Amino acid sequence: MSTSARADEPDNAIGIKLLEAPVSRRDDPRAQNYIVDHLAPGAVIKRAVQITNSSSTVRRIEVFPGAARVTDNAFELMPGRAVNELTNWISVDKGQLDLDPGKSARVLVTIRVDPIAAPGERFAVVWAQTSAPFDGADAVLLTSRVGIRTYLDVGAGGEPASDFAVSGLTPVRGQDGRPQVLATVHNTGGRAVDLAGDMALSDGPGSLSAGPFPATLGTTLLPDGTAAVQIMLDSRLPDGPWTARLTLRSGALERTVTATITFPSAAGATGATVAPDTWFDRNRPLLIGLAIAVLLLLAVLVYLLVRRRKSDRHPPRVADLEPLGRS
């Protein structure tokens, strides 16, 4: 019998990290932590990972690919040694390691895409797993595992562009009285996105400011998918109104929106969804100032033109002129 345990428990601690990433993705934070790539059918890539034994005893560590999927806007890790199409393409050069305390080992992960693979993105995890006996009457084994996510898009030609948009912010007062914001996000690109970010509040009652408050992690959106990203705020915040500035990121992609929101006073209540300010909304004072300046300039030009035309219709008479140079 086995049960799961956290991989950071001192007596059973192991770790895994990615050692290599494509040069073309050096600015992509996701590619520094996960295997993220776009490959043509039949292509082969290799990525090195490091396995570490942080426990106080020798550990036998198994390394293997496991299936994953995106379900209900979350990256779901399948239990055990579940397989899918992508796991069948993944192999490791060391499936089992015996590591002394504090020691590490390098493992090479190879992905060989099926030559007849259909276009689309697949998901998997490269797992490092170890077990240790638990001091109990039932001789239970504590199993811990840590993994590196794999996002592999298959298709001929260039990689589909990633993008997402925030279409609305909804202020909510939770049942416990704590305010929160639900940001409606739509994946407008061609690859899955993992959303992270934060929200800052300004221009509140009495010119108050607050935050930034982190967005709740765990939202993964497939192309054309929509989800509500939650931002939990401080229970001491007044209702508002507030200027909310939300920044969300997925890898190197970043989007920032602002909106004026007011939280409902009653616990469990939901306020009206507010569309983010457009570029024209954010720059309205500047645009109004420019419009006034243009109108004033036009008025001056019209005045000068009218005055000139009047002068042309009534030239000065000879008798009104005084010769120059006479004493």
Same domain for 9 and 106, yes or no, is: yes
pLDDT confidence bin for 173, thresholds 50/70/90: very high
Q: Helix or strand or coil: residue 149?
A: strand
Q: Helix or strand or coil: residue 320?
A: helix
Spell out a b/e string for 3-16, using b for 16 or more CB atoms within 10 Å of the CB, else e: eebebeeeebbbeb
Q: Give the pLDDT mean for 171-193.
A: 95
pTM (global) more than 0.85: no
Is the Cβ–Cβ distance between 287 and 194 less than 8 Å? Answer: no
Bridge partners (DSSP) of residue 61 are 97
CA 241 – CA 258 distance, rounded (Å): 13
Considering the domain boundaries, does residue 98 fall inside one?
yes
Q: Helix or strand or coil: residue 136?
A: coil
Is the Cβ–Cβ distance between 52 and 104 less than 8 Å? Answer: yes
The CATH code of the domain that includes 49 is 2.60.40.10
Same domain for 66 and 186, yes or no, is: no
* Tens digit of each residue's pLDDT (9 = 90 or more) over 223-276: 999 999 999 999 889 998 999 999 999 999 999 999 999 999 998 999 999 998
pLDDT confidence bin for 3, thresholds 50/70/90: very low
Same domain for 144 and 169, yes or no, is: no
Same domain for 148 and 170, yes or no, is: no
Q: Helix or strand or coil: residue 34?
A: coil
Same domain for 41 and 148, yes or no, is: yes
Is the Cβ–Cβ distance between 105 and 126 less than 8 Å? Answer: no
Same domain for 196 and 111, yes or no, is: no
CA 191 – CA 153 distance, rounded (Å): 8
* Residues making up the chain, counted from first to last: 327
Considering the domain boundaries, does residue 265 fall inside one?
yes
CA 77 – CA 71 distance, rounded (Å): 10
